[in-house]
Structure 1
Amino acid sequence: MHKVLAIDTSSFVLGVALIDENEVLGEIITNSKKNHALRLMPAISALLEDLKVEPKELTHIIVANGPGSYTGVRIGVTTAKTLAWSLGIPLITVSSLENTAQVINYYNGFICPIIDARRGQIFTGLYKRDSKELVSQEKDQLTLLQDWLQYLKEKNEPVLFTGKDLTIHQDEIKNQLGELALFAPATMRLPRPAELAHLGMLKSPVHDVHQVTPQYLRLAEAEAKWREAQEEKRND
């Protein structure tokens, strides 16, 4: 029997779930700007306590490792690594975008998850179901929304968009793609930690927990500014 704990803090959405084989035992999801660093461990503790499950009973830890919020991704990955190492159990990482797309269970066309990256940029990818399995059609990437929409327009096929940040870009997507753009209902736009758990169990554990790093797809803003400043100094 597998008791799997899944963790996702890669956006404002905090998600924790516990599954046992194919049964969802419990799930906590909040969509708030509150500090994940203060709320993640209490959420995990509350879930395990409610379900009368001891940490030593866990068999796997699965975490959404980005892209997304720099701080949020780091908190989730660090917590997952610490739990997996201290309990001596496997750690599995899953793309935050893949997990967002995974919620769309019964659509066989192109699925496009969206995470806002500010300044006209988005984290995105393109997925499609092959039978029941979700398969990546274009790798996760950081790109300009306009460039991405032009690429999708040239495909000339319907695309179902989803994701917590979809409302930010929905009007522009509709303007550019017209009837080719489909939008998931609000109830299916948040990533689900239970889906993350099921998705993770289809993947292989990492070989070395200590070598796991978040999938940022870009420099943190502070680091980017520091590098820009160093470059300017060299050019003076």
Structure 2
Amino acid sequence: MKILSVSTATNFLTISLNEDEKVIKQVEEKDQRNHSEHLDPMIDKLLKDCNLSLKQIDRLAVAIGPGSYTGLRIGITTMKMFASILNKEIVGISTLQALAANKQAADSLTLACLDARNNNFFAGAYVNGEAVIADGHYSFEALLEELKKVLAEKNIQKLIILGSGMEKHEDLLNSLPCDIIWGNEEENLVHASQIAKLALTSEVIDADQLVPRYLRRTQAEMDWHKKTGKPFEPDSNYVEEV
């Protein structure tokens, strides 16, 4: 199965073409914020380099969040458009699950996190690929308590930390009753090749039902709620309204 996968969730733009578990070609740009300008040309070049067209792709996969609100919309909208026009299968993959896939071990807990500023994090924790702390928006203090609980309950002695921002709290993390393994530069980035591998066994959904998972309210939603007094609605309602 040929899978074209994309992540625009962070300032790291990554695109991959996989044949089942094999990575055929992956192209990436670090510290780029103009995803709307670069995504389509990079996809086009990748496919041309592999002598393929979009029509020959079997499945599309995209990171659906958490991450940059604008970045997520760019990647998801692009892949939804391809899926709808070409009638292709499409899968949405957690940004944190893809990040956690970079480094796992049978006897370890893998924490995947993205710095959400002000000592808050988008984070999730995984054991053998299974989520044991659900993807969410956590204060550092709340996340630390969740880690303590899981480490104790599952008697885990090693904690792998991937992503961004946690190094600021190294002293407090070292108080945890486990060995800590920090990811290297490449392991701390979301790679589209991991998204493609996860997409092999993930559920295909209707392209119209694929929406971002922001995991916290946008400022626009907060302003709308304050102005109207109406209760918050599912993310899909806001996406369809736009």
Check the 8 A contact 2:2/2:19 in 1, yes or no: yes
Q: Which residue type is aligned with residue 207 of structure 2?
A: V
TM-score by length of 1: 0.87
1:170 to 162, 167, 170: 167
Q: 1:65 maps to what in 2?
A: 64
- The verdict on how the C-alpha distance between 1:99 and 1:120 changes in structure 2, with shifts beyond 3 A counting, is same
Q: 1:234 maps to what in 2?
A: none
Check the 8 A contact 2:13/2:32 in 1, yes or no: no
Deviation at 1:79, TM superposition (A): 0.8
Check the 8 A contact 2:104/2:160 in 1, yes or no: no
Q: 1:4 maps to what in 2?
A: 3
Secondary structure at the aligned position of 2:138 is classed as strand
Q: 1:219 maps to what in 2?
A: 217
Mapped to 2, the partners of 1:105 and 1:121 lie a distance apart of 24
Which one is further off, 24-33 or 217-226? 217-226
Check the 8 A contact 1:149/1:173 in 2, yes or no: no
Q: 1:204 maps to what in 2?
A: 203
Q: 2:161 maps to what in 1?
A: 161
Check the 8 A contact 1:153/1:177 in 2, yes or no: no
Q: Which residue type is aligned with residue 148 of structure 2?
A: K
Aligned length: 222
Check the 8 A contact 2:103/2:160 in 1, yes or no: no
Deviation at 1:219, TM superposition (A): 1.6
Secondary structure at the aligned position of 1:186 is classed as coil
Q: Which residue type is aligned with residue 162 of structure 2?
A: T
Deviation at 1:105, TM superposition (A): 4.2
- Structure 1 residue 14 and structure 2 residue 13: aligned? yes
Q: 1:123 maps to what in 2?
A: 122
Secondary structure at the aligned position of 1:195 is classed as helix
Mapped to 2, the partners of 1:113 and 1:60 lie a distance apart of 25
Mapped to 2, the partners of 1:105 and 1:28 lie a distance apart of 23
Deviation at 1:188, TM superposition (A): 1.3
- The verdict on how the C-alpha distance between 1:41 and 1:137 changes in structure 2, with shifts beyond 3 A counting, is same
Q: 1:109 maps to what in 2?
A: 108
Task: Give the fraction of aligned pairs with identical amino acids, expressed as a percent.
Answer: 26
Mapped to 1, the partners of 2:32 and 2:57 lie a distance apart of 29
Deviation at 1:32, TM superposition (A): 1.0
Secondary structure at the aligned position of 1:25 is classed as strand
Mapped to 2, the partners of 1:113 and 1:174 lie a distance apart of 18
Mapped to 2, the partners of 1:118 and 1:172 lie a distance apart of 13
User: Which whole-Å deviations, capped at 9, do the CAs of 1:42-74 have from their partners, x for residues lacking one?
Assistant: 110110111111111111001110011111111
- The verdict on how the C-alpha distance between 1:120 and 1:226 changes in structure 2, with shifts beyond 3 A counting, is farther
Q: Which residue type is aligned with residue 140 of structure 1?
A: D
Deviation at 1:182, TM superposition (A): 2.5
Mapped to 2, the partners of 1:55 and 1:187 lie a distance apart of 28
RMSD: 1.7
Q: Which residue type is aligned with residue 226 of structure 2?
A: E
Check the 8 A contact 1:24/1:194 in 2, yes or no: yes
Check the 8 A contact 1:4/1:60 in 2, yes or no: yes
Q: Which residue type is aligned with residue 210 of structure 1?
A: D
User: Which whole-Å deviations, capped at 9, do the CAs of 1:122-181 have from their partners, x for residues lacking one?
Assistant: 11011011xxxx111121111101211133234354321101x2xx33131432433633
Check the 8 A contact 1:99/1:199 in 2, yes or no: yes
Deviation at 1:108, TM superposition (A): 3.5
Q: Which residue type is aligned with residue 141 of structure 1?
A: G
Mapped to 1, the partners of 2:72 and 2:106 lie a distance apart of 28
Check the 8 A contact 2:20/2:200 in 1, yes or no: no
